[in-house]
Amino acid sequence: MRKTGTIVLSTLLAVSVSSLGWLSPGAQAATSKKLPKQMEEKIAKLAKNKVSKYIDTKSSKPVDVIVQMNQQPVGEVVKNHKQLKSSPAKDYQMQMKEALNQAEKKLTKVNSKVKVKQRFDTVFSGFAVSVPANQIHKLAAMPEVKAVYPTLKYKALGNGSSTVGAPEVWRMKDAQGLPVDGRGIKVAVIDTGVDSKHPDLKSNYIGGYDVVDRDNDPQDEAGHGTHVAGIIAANGEIKGVAPEASILAYRVLGKQGGTTSDILTGIEMAVRDGADVMNLSLGADANYPDDPLVSALNHAAKIGVSVAVANGNSGSDAWTVGIPATADKVISVGASTLEKEFPKFEVVGTETSFDGAQLTKMKFPSNSQFEMVDVGFGSPLDYKKVNVKGKYVIVQQGAAKQDIYVSNAQKAGATGVLLYAKGQEQADLQSIEASLENKIPAVQLAAKDATALKASLKAGKAIASLKEYKPYEFMAEFSSRGPVHETWAVKPDVVAPGVAIKSTVPGEEKYAEYDGTSMAAPQVAGAAALLRQMHPDWTPEDVKASLSNTAKTLTDITGKRYDVMTQGSGRIDIPKAIQATTLVTPNNFTFGLVKPNSGEAKLEKKLTIKNTSGASKTYTSRVEMATNTGIQVQAPNQVEVSANGQEDLTVKITVDSSLPRDVYSGYLYLTEGKEELKVPFTFSIDPASYNRVNYLGVSDLIFSPNGDGKEESTSLSYYVPTVAKHLNFYLRNLDDESKVSLIHQAENVGSGWHGQKWTGNTVDKKAVPEGIYEMQAVASDDEVESSTAALVLVDKTAPVITANLNEEGTKMNLKIEDFLMQYNYFFKMFGLAQDDLVKVEYILEGTSDRVRVPLDEEKMEIEIKQEWLDSGKTSMTILATDDAGNQTKTKVNLKK
């Protein structure tokens, strides 16, 4: 069994149909042999720019690829997905079916190892294919092949409806006088399946398909998809955002995740089944816009399907957004917290004020004043030194749990606790939940505020007062950020609550709280269902614009606005979005990349303002940027749009390219009466955060460079989006992090995909010892540096077998020892079973059959059967082969 260390790259080829016979039968048969140099050059020329730069085509190993055809999918012949069952669409589908049949026959003749696995025709035209990687260019050279894409391994990413205003919308009426609660709208959940028998979902579930197991029951084994479906449309003990919407479920993710081809199949089925809205709370750790899922989802949106996609949970750094959230026509969704109230205090007679994160469910009394006293670490001994009865205590937190400090204070007679930890920043307070059950109120302070309070105490100012409880919504730290590589597009588009979201799960517990952008995206999908019901004539672009234009801008606890690449337009506000009478598209925009120190750059973008009301409107514009130095933005002061009309607006920007290298962002605001709409925008001056190397893959996670001819090397593949002046590969031993080796160096590495073999040596030809390593690729120029990493394990020794026959002669007791077995924890991270580490088998004397013995560190045994002895068998050979290919054989007697 082979393990891959990062995202598993397979390859999906997109193939055009009629030209697959461009080679003669003789030439087709010969393609598995070495072609003349002239023919190789011709093929390379024809294939140029068709093969995704994210595919390593140097290996001879088979990979799964998507071949995209030039021929348009069925969705291209209709204006709306509702027309897919029309006669013209059915006629075109029959033509495509025949074309695909012919293409498949010809495709498999190109090379004997080409295998067609799946086909697509609705929002994507092509095949899922297995092919030797070094043969991909031959397929790509066919005139009607549009592109060849990699397939990625995807994973699932991770009652909030009241926060985004859904209950208020339920009280509204649509054009038929019915409540706006999602009725009549189909929402497709493309995920791990859905528990269709859950009491809160069974009335909404209308069908689906299990793409993983190929059956009609997409039952959820993981719970993720059921949680997502509940956020969208639960209608029982808890309510989803659109409780009367219908749920279609497509299971595309199994226990180990899912592939591009399975997800693509789910998308196509959802479109064909008439989904109005689609939710994908899944993603891959790859950031680029050129991908089959991106193409398919953009096409689905083009023909009328609103698509919400989780932006990813890869943290607060730039460039962490993952496929398929990189698609420009979907609504990419980041995660915010639910609204939390923070008490704000001030010290009487001073200008000192401070915020605290509520630790206890019990709040501080309103309009109260209190005396403060410092009790150090708040131990019982500390309380014996000072009178704290009726006072609030300032306590420094050590190693004990928070409730211990609060309990100690309560026992000593204190009426409130102001707790702080050394080095705690103000931003750290944002993730704290008010969960303690203590009977006196307590807050967590930033360390700097505690220092200021102590200074006030020394100055004789010991009285503080509660000024107010102020509500905040913060960005979740795990929520991925933009921009998108190559396009510099703004992502996420919007955010929604994704922390501690309660929803449905399978099993007896029925409900659970989960965190993740997986929980935020379905709130947007539910919102889209409400908007589609209220405004059936709105396009997916209109829905996206209304949610973005009217979103609430979020700030951190200091009042500083989160940047555009963190929150997009902000947190959705469904009542405002559904009542919007103006739509501005695109919902955000980027001026792209400005080359550093290239003089003054002048750029412009066009927007469209659509007035959906029955009266003429005049909009006033203004622009806000975090910095105005060296930047000039121009937009018309006023724009008049007639009733039910639209007008274009051009935004121009002049940039001093000598500004610091960074991503710059701002907002264009359009105001008409009480209505205010916003459109975020960005431009970039080759930012230092831009990854000079953004992918590193190791083909074989475990290999054995010990000279025995088995698994002697592993293949490295990495992608450089722009020229890297210096590129170094380092190896760090995770068991001894002080040991770092340089294993590869290169200069002036061109943009694109690169690959090479690594045989386990450093640059100075020294063999690295056995161990588990982090391999890090570091790319740099004169000013900036970026890196990416992958894991690799070097195993050079064979397993050790100890075999002993028990006293009765009925069982052979075994003990297996191997270098890999000490890394069980490591393999579990990748979902691999212990039995994958070492394969143990026996061969009975006189036979050739290998019988597997399950690996068990506690107890392993082989039953000695009497029939063996009766037939004259006297021995067996036991073999132990580890995953690196190292093998030990030992012959043992069946009798003592």
Task: Report the catalytic residues.
Answer: 191, 224, 518
Residue 810: CA count within 13 A, CB half-sphere: 1
Query: Cα dist. 895→573, 810, 873 in Å?
Result: 78, 9, 10
Q: Is 890 helix (H, G, I), strand (E, B) or coil?
A: strand
Consecutive H or E run containing 565 = helix 564-567
Q: Distance (Å, rounded) from C-alpha 86 to C-alpha 620?
A: 45
The residue assigned the tokens 């005049």 is 618
CB atoms within 10 A of CB 437: 9
Sign for the CA dihedral angle at 695, 699, 704, 709 comes to: negative
Query: CB atoms < 10 A from the CB of 844, how many?
Result: 18
Helices (H) and strands (E) in the chain, counts: 17, 49
Q: Is 701 left (phi over 0), alpha (psi -120 to 50) or beta?
A: alpha
**Strands 442-445 and 357-358, sheet pairing:** antiparallel
Half-sphere exposure of 126 (CA within 13 A, CB side): 31
Separation of alpha carbons 788 and 858, rounded Å: 38
3-state secondary structure of 24: coil
Q: How far is CA 33 from CA 15, 27, 56, 63, 138, in A?
A: 22, 10, 21, 19, 12
Q: Per residue, what are the HEC states of 257-307?
A: EEEHHHHHHHHHHHHHCCCCEEEECEECCCCCCCCHHHHHHHHHHHCCCEE
**Residues β-bridged to residue 357:** 444
Structure tokens at 232: 């969208």
3-state secondary structure at position 81 = helix
Helix (H, G, I), strand (E, B), or coil: what is residue 500?
coil
Q: What phi and psi, each to the nearest 5 degrees, are found at residue 821?
A: -70, -20
Q: Which two tokens stand for residue 173?
A: 């009426």
Residue from 339, 349, 391 nearest 370 by CA: 391
DSSP state of 891: E
Cα 129 from chain centroid (whole Å): 25
Nearest CA-CA partner of 13 in 154, 98, 117? 117
Token output for 203? 């009335």
Nearest by Cα to 211 from 159, 160, 154, 249: 249
Distance, in Å, from the CA atom of 125 to the CA atom of 99, rounded to the nearest integer, reads: 11
Residue count of the chain: 896
Inter-residue contact 233 to 247 (CB < 8 Å)? yes
Question: Which pair of structure tokens corresponds to residue 36?
Answer: 């003349």
Dihedral-angle region of residue 231 (phi above 0 means left; psi in -120 to 50 means alpha; beta otherwise): alpha
Extract the tokens encoding 176: 């038929």
DSSP type of residue 736: S
| Amino acid at position 645, single letter | G
- Residue 888 backbone dihedrals phi, psi, to 5 degrees: -125, 140
| Helix (H) or strand (E) run with residue 407 in it | helix 402-411
CA gap 386, 155 in Å, rounded: 55
Tokens 């500390």 correspond to 382
| Cross-sheet strand order for the sheet of 714-720 | 695-698, 714-720, 752-758
